[in-house]
Amino acid sequence: MLIAKNISKKFSGVTALSNVTLELHPGKVNAIIGENGAGKSTLMKIFSGVHTQYEGEIILNGRTVHFANTREAEEAGIAIIHQELNLVPYMSVAENIFLGREITNRFGMVDNTQMNEQAKKLLNLLHLDIEPETKMAALKVGQQQMVEIAKALHTNAGVIIMDEPTSAISDKEVDQLFAIIRKLKEEGKIIAYISHKLKELFTIADRYVILRDGVSVDEGNMEEVSPDELIHKMTGRKLNFEKAGKSKANSEELLQVNQLNLKHPLLRFSNILHNISFTLYKGEILGIYGLMGAGRTELMECIFGLHPKNASGEIRVKGKPCSIKTPADAIATGIALVPEDRKLHGLILNQSIRNNISLTVLRQLEKWGLMLNAGKEMALTDNYINRLAIKTTSDRNKARSLSGGNQQKIVLAKWLATNPQILLLDEPTRGIDINAKAEIYKLIKSLANEGMGIIMVSSELPEILAVSDRVMVMWEGEVTAIIPGEDATEAGVLTHAIHKNEVAL
């Protein structure tokens, strides 16, 4: 039995887990359920020795353990199958399976023959028709996922943690995986299974543990619970944000997206987005909610011209069809995108606040089309620093030196400077403190009141409900619902995000 007792974990002041207590039983598939950001992955990373700083106790088979690194966790018999693939593409399947645990002969040389033989056995066990010498890069994503699973199995671990193992594999492979999970169960292993797919959970899981906002709220047997009850338990929290007054959306159509499709860059016949159609009105805030992999970010990227090759469909701005092939086209059309990852895509961290804010509008700051007008630039940045209340001693400070909330304001400023009519916000409040969040909500509201059309993607349901005039729900690349703000409830939105219809079948 694997027991977590009063586990708490903070990331630079932000609580990720708070007094989590739960049990994972041997010979059972323990489903770990929760919304995005509920703390599932953090907890699994503590189990597997990725996070080493935490409060509380982990008890494995009666002994308290505290792993200093992933190696120690592996030696204690805990294996994790990560959501993201951790494989070396140009090494063979066998080499990947044995990575870090290579079999050596008595001269200390790697024994490829042995490794290939053992790998073959493992692959057969999984009904995988792959030669162990094949390079990883030659496999399909689903096959790679199965190799990742093989890698976890070969360590002969007593505890196997699977984080969204079916996100990239076909139905047939899912069946094979489930067959293996059942076998592992019979062997008395402890299996922790994280998934958003309720249908899967009701097929394979025996027990459930529910996390909500970093707190363990309930556990029990799958047989004794219905999908509706589960959803209720996942969301049964009070609203953190009051519903602010609605912005004055009017009926003037600003952005129309018709039959937007996005092809998968690797898998030829699968789509990331299927036939997305919706309308954004002038002065409206459209919230987009969906779970991991719903395609929200990709939708924003398509509108912003980041997938010119793989995307198809029609985008109209104020009724006029637009061909947006690059971010520059999007900006010229009056569209701005505040990206999901501000450090990776939003900011140049080592450069000044001023340079970051003015980057999108340098052309307008030129004198005689030649030199930059420093005075104009300073006026621009000062204006936004005041307007958005960016806390800094000077606009020459590096973006890196600011807090997350202030960094996010810089990204907002650089996009507001382009004077957009359509503002796309992808997780605009991720990782920032509560005060900065409130300020950003206020700003979004006032922008909408001035007539801007705003799309806000968020993983935080309360945020979506508090800010949106309408809520669009996505699931696996499709739009499953568009709900007027006043009718949207947590359970209602989440039901569409999980696509409960599927469960009912």
**Number of chain positions touching another protein (CB under 8 A):** 30
Distance of alpha carbon 243 from its chain centroid, rounded? Answer: 25
Least distance (Å) between residue 456 CB and another protein = 18
39-74 CB burial, b ≥16 within 10 A, e <16: bbbbbbbbbbbbbeebebebebeeeebebeebeebb
Q: State the minimum distance, in angstroms, from the CB of residue 322 to another protein.
A: 15
Taking CB under 8 A as the criterion, the residue among 350, 386, 435, 505 binding another protein is 350
Task: Please select the residue that binds another protein; options are 110, 348, 389, 491, rule is CB under 8 A.
Answer: 348
Between 22 and 417, CB nearer to another protein: 417
**Would you count residue 355 as binding another protein (CB under 8 A)?**
yes
Beta pairing partners, 471: 287, 483
Binding part of the chain for another protein, among 34-42, 351-359, 438-446, 474-482 by CB under 8 A, reads 351-359
Min CB(217)–another protein separation in Å: 38
CA distance 3 to 47: 10
Q: How far is CA 236 from CA 213, 243, 334, in A?
A: 11, 17, 39
Q: With CB under 8 A as the contact rule, which of the stretches 4-12, 200-208, 265-273, 345-353 interacts with another protein? A: 345-353
Q: Which stretch binds another protein (CB under 8 A): 85-93, 194-202, 324-332, 486-494?
A: 324-332
339 binds another protein (CB under 8 A): yes
Report if residue 88 touches another protein, rule: CB under 8 A.
no
Interface with another protein in residues 192-251 (CB under 8 A): none
Asked if 133 and 166 touch (Cβ cutoff 8 Å), the reply is no
Q: Evaluate whether 479 touches 470 at the Cβ level (below 8 Å).
A: no
Query: SS3 letters for 357-395?
Result: HHHHHHHHHEECCCEECHHHHHHHHHHHHHHCCCCCCCC
Tell me the closest approach of the beta carbon of residue 391 to another protein, in angstroms.
13
DSSP code for 49: T
Are the CB atoms for 413 and 391 separated by under 8 Å? no
Question: Cβ(185)–Cβ(205) under 8 Å?
Answer: no
Name residues contacting another protein, limited to 362-391 (CB under 8 A): 362-363, 365-366, 370-372
Of the candidate residues 6, 351, 489, 501, the single one contacting another protein (CB under 8 A): 351
Smallest gap, in angstroms, from Cβ of residue 356 to another protein?
8
Is residue 360 a contact residue for another protein (CB under 8 A)?
yes
Nearest to 225 by CA among 233, 216, 235: 233
The interface with another protein within residues 124-163 (CB under 8 A) comprises none
Chain-centroid distance of CA 426 in Å reads 11
Q: Is 3 in the site for another protein (CB under 8 A)?
A: no
- The least CB distance from residue 366 to another protein, in Å, is 6
- State both tokens at 81: 């199958």
Complex with another protein: residue 333 or 495, whichever CB lies closer? 333
Q: Does 99 bind another protein (CB under 8 A)?
A: no
- Judged by CB, which is closer to another protein: 112, or 333? 333
Q: Which of residues 232, 345, 376, 445 is near another protein by CB under 8 A?
A: 345
Q: How far is the CB of 352 from another protein (least distance, A)?
A: 10
- Residue 426 dihedral angles phi and psi, to the nearest 5°: -105, 110
Cα 463 from chain centroid (whole Å): 16
Contact positions with another protein (CB under 8 A) in 414-473 = 414
Q: Given candidates 68, 109, 266, 344, which one binds another protein under the rule CB under 8 A?
A: 344
| Helix residue ranges, H only, 417-460 | 434-449
Please identify, using beta-carbon distances, which residue of 362 and 379 lies nearer to another protein. Answer: 362
Identified binder of another protein from the candidate list 304, 384, 441, 475, rule CB under 8 A: 304
In Å, what is the CA distance from 360 to each residue of 271, 300, 332, 363?
32, 18, 11, 8
Q: Which stretch binds another protein (CB under 8 A): 178-186, 209-217, 249-257, 354-362?
A: 354-362
Eight-state DSSP code of residue 104: B
Of residues 299 and 330, the one with the C-beta less far from another protein: 330
Closest approach of another protein to the CB of residue 104, in Å: 35
- Could you give the CA distance from residue 488 to residue 471 in angstroms, rounded to a whole number? 7
Smallest gap from Cβ 362 to another protein, in A, equals: 4
Cα dist from 308 to 272, 276, 340, 360, 455, whole Å: 14, 16, 19, 21, 21
Whether 496 and 481 have beta carbons less than 8 Å apart is answered as yes
Which residues are near another protein by CB under 8 A?
304, 306, 326-328, 330-331, 337, 339, 344-351, 355, 358-360, 362-363, 365-366, 370-372, 393, 414
